[in-house]
Structure 1
């Protein structure tokens, strides 16, 4: 497979084996064979974009029953509300502004925009969450964003001052059509703002569960700069974000339209100094991940053998990579608690672990809990203080396997 940004040659550096669709939770008793694919990662020798080597058809991941809700975390709700406030005070402060969000999910960010009376549109292919957005007063179209979609939106609504995407752009392999669509829809002096998991943070923390079917690209400032250049855009802004285990918010504008922030050059220099896209760094990451796998399995096996009670917390999409790569099933983690109704009563994809509602966590508390939703650790640990008070211990595996 060649690079999906520049058609360059890809060099593989990590292989996580056969994996299921991460959000395809299974109904008990369903005997149909689960779809699987090889989850391997490589780097482009030309543009340095890190990406998956095998693409999962988008309809298998984003559909009517897609279960993830961006409003499910208070931290993320506050994050998106703060962003909306910032956009309203800056890019959307002119006469009759218009903002388009790609992958708006349940409308958490756009709800604040709508309440301010600003023209907006969410583009969301997953019908269930799109309906939730609409129920909050958000204007939304059920579709995948690509060049043809962008042209239809422009014909109907005119150009956008801002096109925004959160944890969406990295999901989309057909980048050329996306950026052509942004070019067709964006006002000449407008901005394309997107935030996604940051490659440097993934490497530093060995957070290998950020690698799963929905995350096709793993962005760094250097690769985003090259991607933008090839489509007539320029990387003019970057901002490090603490959410989801470490992200960067990138701002693109048409070449020459905006002054470049000094933060861009600072981040590019930091990446070069750390060797973020050096093959030796990437292979070192893969070796750390193998050690994490072995240590996590050893810990869980030891707890099982001594009769300790163990549960999982958070049936996240990320957990699919951990469970299937490590070979962890119900014999090591008998169940996982999750607040998402669509996942409850089902089995985790590939690994077949039952998912139960949050009430199961305290009935009674297990002795140990694997925190698969580690990126929300502070929020969850504060919420589940009684678990610790009852003598419970959290099992974390990012950046290393440890008990908390």
Structure 2
């Protein structure tokens, strides 16, 4: 792909992370033949500045009945989504018979709070497995990909929405033109679209290149989101920095002329201009930092292996697929990955084929070192596994730089 999916402007590639598998395709041992790979590379649009993948992976390969990610899997994220629901209920889902729609509702952790408040709601998610879990919480779900036709169907059956919300979902959807036509059809005249996704500024600052994988097609900035919104008759009216998932931004969009932008929008745009975020030279420096991180991490792991140290990993995340496959980390350097998700346990990590074991077995016995793939949950994990360090174990981190926690 050589043109931008948003504006058809020219794309310039700045980072190639090589052949990568589907990041959530955890295979059974003995079933790795014919595994799907694609070239994971990132480019910048010279017209609207949107940073995006150079190749699109078919959505059905990523989002299906057996999609293994669960939003409720972390206590930090459960609290985040419950607080988000309460905020939306207090500020947007007001008046007579308010209606809240969530794109990518996953297992329903956010909408369950909305439902308990007695507010009419609907989740839209293409993955039947997590949708069933949401329904078990009392959440109403339509199993579908969100696009213009989906939105038109919802509006006809349910009426228009006060707020449409999406978390870690909009960046997954290459066909944003259809999404925005759907939003225009579904939102009330004064309704808002609120979404939160990984922030390019944090990715560049932290060298968190593992935020780049098949599901993350776009990497947003306030500037690129403002450009995107204006193309479709909307305006960026608010931004909020969030600490979750390694640094995200919550963006609020409204139809042009219905709400004035907050001061936070101008402040973030000015900060991005000062830092030259999404400018070619900045992104080239980021690519060089990524290559340095790869070299340092591989050197560290090979040195520990040569010294006879036992090294494992913690967190079989989607992000870890990028790290393991780009760096060439397999079971010879990292013997296993420990994870809390039952659907991943007993399987192999995508591409790198490292065995996934239950986190309950982490101490059988403790390893010498643990590579923390789930670094965005470091505080929660290290508190849970404090006995590992007490027993002399050491954590390995690779963002914002490769280091061992003594």
Bin the TM-score by the shorter chain: over 0.9
Match of 2:140 in 1: 139
* Structure 2 counterpart SS, 1:364: coil
Match of 1:65 in 2: 66
TM-score by length of 1: 0.99
Q: Is 1:209 aligned to 2:210, yes or no? A: yes
Distance in 1, matches of 2:33 and 2:113, equals 42
The aligned length equals 404
| Residue 178 of structure 1, CA deviation | 0.5
Distance in 1, matches of 2:226 and 2:283, equals 20
Match of 2:228 in 1: 227
* Structure 2 counterpart SS, 1:362: coil
Match of 2:111 in 1: 110
Distance in 2, matches of 1:375 and 1:260, equals 30
Match of 2:155 in 1: 154
Q: Is 1:198 aligned to 2:199, yes or no? A: yes
Root mean square deviation, CA, Å: 0.5
Match of 2:367 in 1: 366
Q: Is 1:278 aligned to 2:279, yes or no? A: yes
| Residue 31 of structure 1, CA deviation | 4.4
Q: Mapping of 1:2-401 within 5 angstroms? A: 2-401=3-402
Deviates more, 1:90-99 or 1:152-161: 90-99
Distance in 2, matches of 1:359 and 1:242, equals 27
| Residue 119 of structure 1, CA deviation | 0.3
* Structure 1 counterpart SS, 2:183: helix
TM-score by length of 2: 0.99
Task: Note closer, same or farther for the CA distance 1:376–1:273 as it changes in structure 2 (3 Å cut).
Answer: same
- 1:1-23 per-residue CA deviation (whole Å, 9 max, x = no partner) reads 21010010000000000000000
Distance in 2, matches of 1:235 and 1:136, equals 33
Distance in 2, matches of 1:317 and 1:154, equals 33
Structure 2 gap ranges (5+): none
* Structure 2 counterpart SS, 1:319: helix
* Structure 2 counterpart SS, 1:148: helix
Distance in 2, matches of 1:102 and 1:285, equals 31
- 1:26-47 per-residue CA deviation (whole Å, 9 max, x = no partner) reads 1101143111100000000000
- 1:42-98 per-residue CA deviation (whole Å, 9 max, x = no partner) reads 000000000000000000000000000000001100101111111111111211000
- 1:323-350 per-residue CA deviation (whole Å, 9 max, x = no partner) reads 0000000000010000000100000010
Segments of 4+ moved more than 3 angstroms: none
- 1:107-145 per-residue CA deviation (whole Å, 9 max, x = no partner) reads 010000010110000000011000000000000010000
- 1:156-204 per-residue CA deviation (whole Å, 9 max, x = no partner) reads 0000000000000000000100011000100000000000000000000
- 1:237-285 per-residue CA deviation (whole Å, 9 max, x = no partner) reads 0000000000000000000011210100000000000010110000000
Distance in 1, matches of 2:32 and 2:51, equals 35
* Structure 2 counterpart SS, 1:78: helix
Structure 1 gap ranges (5+): none
* Structure 2 counterpart SS, 1:133: helix
